[in-house]
Copies of this chain bind each other. A is one copy, B any other.
């Protein structure tokens, strides 16, 4: 028989990262290519304790089907944290628990996008969002971002011309670039959006991973009726549970719940109960402080080795948090070409290409600093610096 696939699935870029990581599987390769939190700092013992308690007190319940919105107590805890950490008032009814925040993207695409609908996205932008919205055949309109935040002139121009249905941003320690939008830039972005029919999706998986500098206020505080927030426990607790959430205004939440049911009925309840118990028994801030200390040391090690081993023409972002640096090679160099040379030198990274919707053969690349210790970073960066120098010859 001949299988005729949907048009939409042919539009979805294969995960380049996935393909590339196959090359990097050699244990001698030091990999800055991953996007993983460091597993050495998962709260394994505390989660084990919490899980034990769930089995003892609510085993049958935790293993049964549950409602589509998610556990009410866990949602209350999320609301409380928004209140404490961001001064944001979020109602429990406006929170939906998702199977990781990647699912938040899928659900938003599902309820909003018709074929060919315009979607504005950061350039460079999060690969997972490009994939998720491609499924719904979005027409992408990239808006440049840098350490100054989003290019609001480009945004205003594009918004006027294209009237995108949504603008997707990761304003804190962005994936892939590590940049954060300063408060003043957020004010400008909000000013441009205000009064338009463009919905803002503010994805914030890394916001709690700030090593230095000052917390910048959420878009939800500026455009409460126009902002959908995505959140995740993957970077602050553990990703293997695949538990994230969406915060959305009433009308949108209503549709999200219908879509959630049709998609997977509900997010695994057992993991929700474990997290809820974990938060009852542990102070998340204390745990996060441990992660911050390590990641910050590794970030600094990476920046130091940049200066030590790389030609001056190579530029790099200086993120105040998160897990990534973004490197820009001199004009004319190709990150893809560097990648192949780097693999020979036994070091890996992600070439910038998959983070662009409209550019190829770029000279930018993503470096992850959360998963390699300081010695490894020094060795790996020395190798990468050597590879860059060879490319420049």
Question: Is A384 engaged at the interface, CB distance under 8 Å to the other chain?
Answer: no
A114 to B8, CA, bound (A): 8
Q: How far is the CB of A329 from chain B (nearest CB, A)?
A: 28
- Which among A12, A35, A62, A261 has the greatest number of chain B C-beta atoms within 10 A? A261
Q: Kindly identify which residue among B3, B199, B255 contacts A1, using a CB–CB cutoff of 8 Å.
A: B199
Q: Does A261 lie within 8 Å of B18, measured CB to CB?
A: yes
A97 to B110, CA, bound (A): 22
Question: Is A238 engaged at the interface, CB distance under 8 Å to the other chain?
Answer: yes
Copies in the complex: 2
Q: Does A5 lie within 8 Å of B112, measured CB to CB?
A: yes
Q: Point out the residues of chain B lying under 8 angstroms from A213, CB to CB.
A: none
Q: Kindly identify which residue among B9, B44, B61, B165 contacts A259, using a CB–CB cutoff of 8 Å.
A: B9
Q: Point out the residues of chain B lying under 8 angstroms from A42, CB to CB.
A: 59-60, 63-64
A193 (CB) vs chain B CBs: closest residue: B1
Q: Point out the residues of chain B lying under 8 angstroms from A271, CB to CB.
A: 268, 270-271
- Which among A12, A14, A258, A267 has the greatest number of chain B C-beta atoms within 10 A? A258
Q: Does A136 lie within 8 Å of B239, measured CB to CB?
A: no
Question: Is A333 engaged at the interface, CB distance under 8 Å to the other chain?
Answer: no
Q: Does B165 lie within 8 Å of A258, measured CB to CB?
A: no
What count of chain A residues pass the 8 Å CB interface test? 84
Question: Is A265 engaged at the interface, CB distance under 8 Å to the other chain?
Answer: yes
**Of A99-107, A283-291, A300-308, A335-343, the one with at least 4 CB within 8 A of chain B:** A99-107
Question: Is A152 engaged at the interface, CB distance under 8 Å to the other chain?
Answer: no
**Chain A 14-45 per-residue mask, 1 if CB under 8 angstroms from chain B, else 0:** 11001000000000000000011101101010
Residues on A close to B: CB < 8 A?
A: 1-9, 12, 14-15, 18, 35-37, 39-40, 42, 44, 47-48, 51-52, 55, 59-66, 68, 98-100, 102-103, 106, 110-115, 117, 128, 131-132, 134-136, 165, 195-199, 225-226, 234, 238-243, 251-252, 255, 258-259, 261-271
The 5 closest A-B pairs by CB, nearest first: A63-B238, A44-B59, A63-B240, A242-B268, A131-B262
Further contacts, 5 of them, CB under 8 A, given A18-B68, A39-B60:
A6-B110, A9-B258, A128-B262, A131-B262, A242-B265
